[in-house]
Each structure stands twice: as C-alpha cells, then as structure tokens.
Structure 1
Amino acid sequence: MAEQLEQTRGLLQDVSVEPTVAIVDLGDRGREVDGVQVLHRGKAKTLTRRQWRWIKRRQAVEPVIGHLKDDCRLRRCRLKGAQGDALHVLGCAAGYNLRWLLRWIAFLRAWMRAMGWSSLSTVPLSPTALGA
C-alpha cells in the first residue's frame, strides 16, 4: 500500500495535495501508513456516515473496472510505454461511457415511441440529417 500511496503523491505533486485517507479492501486490513488514515469495511462500527459513503462509492466503482477489463480489452494493452497505457485506459473508458450514452438514447427513443411521440423519435441521428 505504501507503493500505491507514493505513486499517488507523485501524481498529485502538481496540485500540492497530500493524500490523507486511503479507502482499501479487506486485503489491506491491519496495514498502517504514517499520516494516512486507512478505511475499510471491517471498521464499520467506528466509521462516520460520510466515511461509510466513501467506502460504498469505492465498492460501486470496482464492478466498472471489472467490466472495462473484460468487455473493453483492458487486460491487454498493445501501446508502448506509460503514455500508451494511459491512452489505452482513456480510450476504454470513453468507449464504456459512449455505450452507456447510446443505450440511454435508445431507451429514450423507445419511451418516446411508446408515449406516442413517434414524430420526434423518427428523426435520424446522423450528422448529415442535422444539416452538418
């Protein structure tokens, strides 16, 4: 955990912020780092409401990372170097977000069609149809 915190400090050096809280899973239970409060769900009785919400938010992000690894080919990066890794992650995340957006638009069009607003839902979503 100390290595990850050191990497985080390196990433945050431009904004001059030090990490004070580390939200971890139960695998890091019992580890202590100087100057950093370690939170995990094993400390449920001593956590404040705000800290519990942070832990819940972390638990909500983990399945998204799993889907990125499985569905978006995040397990294998064919780009070279650290910059290639960063570009690969950004591309995977953008594709994931675009799929969510397209799914929401399809749902909205189906809902509009079901509500009887078929004249609005028949407008094609291509750039040439919009006059661009």
Structure 2
Amino acid sequence: METTLKFTASHEWVRDNGDGTITMGISDHAQKLLGDVVFVDLPDIGDAADAGKTFSLVESVKAASDIYAPVSGQILETNSSLDDSPELINEDPYNGGWIAKIKLDDMSQLSELIDSDTYLASIAEE
C-alpha cells in the first residue's frame, strides 16, 4: 500500500492528485470484509459530495455497504470500468478499483484524514 494514501475511519482511501482533486475508493481491508463485489452504484458526475455523507454503494455477495464521501467537493469523474467489472475493487482496490475523482471545496480537509500507518494500526486492532 502507498504510504501517501490517507484514510477515513469508515475505510475509504484518498489519494491527493496534487491539483486540488483527489481519487478515492475503499480500502483493501474493506473489500476483504465485503467479499466478492458484484455491483457498484457510482455517484453522478457533477454532483456534490458532502464529507461523511453517503454518496455511493458497493454490493457484494455478503452485503451492501454505503460508501461515504471522504471530502466535500464536486464529483469530476467516476470509474465506469466498475459498471462491467465491479471485481476490480477486490483485485486492485488502490488503482484499478478506484470509485471517484473529486474536486475539493477545501484542501485543508485532507489534513483531517488518517495517515496510512495510523490506519493500518487501527485495523490491526479489529
């Protein structure tokens, strides 16, 4: 896992693209808990994302799980590959299995996220 990734307590990851945008998805830990992903309800491009609010849904053979926006901003792009290949979340959660790209309303929100070492320590305790 990249040490530059940031995380939420609800297991979403964030990659700062360095241009006022982020790419996000769910963590490897989250996809393992879900099991085989069979459907992803992607947010609509242009919609507003509200930090901490539901904006997507991932369904697996075990359960359906809400995905929460890690930051507030506007949805710029979604990973349309997930429409035909939702299993990308299981196979490559940090690259091919990304869910959305978001233009941040406020860059300082990134500092509120959990660094990778802290996140790994927190899931080791579960």
Asked if TM exceeds 0.5, the reply is no
TM-score, length-scaled by structure 2: 0.21
- More contact order relative to length (CA 8 Å, sep ≥ 6): 2
Q: Where is the strand percentage greater, Structure 1 or Structure 2?
A: 2
TM-score, length-scaled by structure 1: 0.20
Question: Which has the greater radius of gyration?
Answer: 1
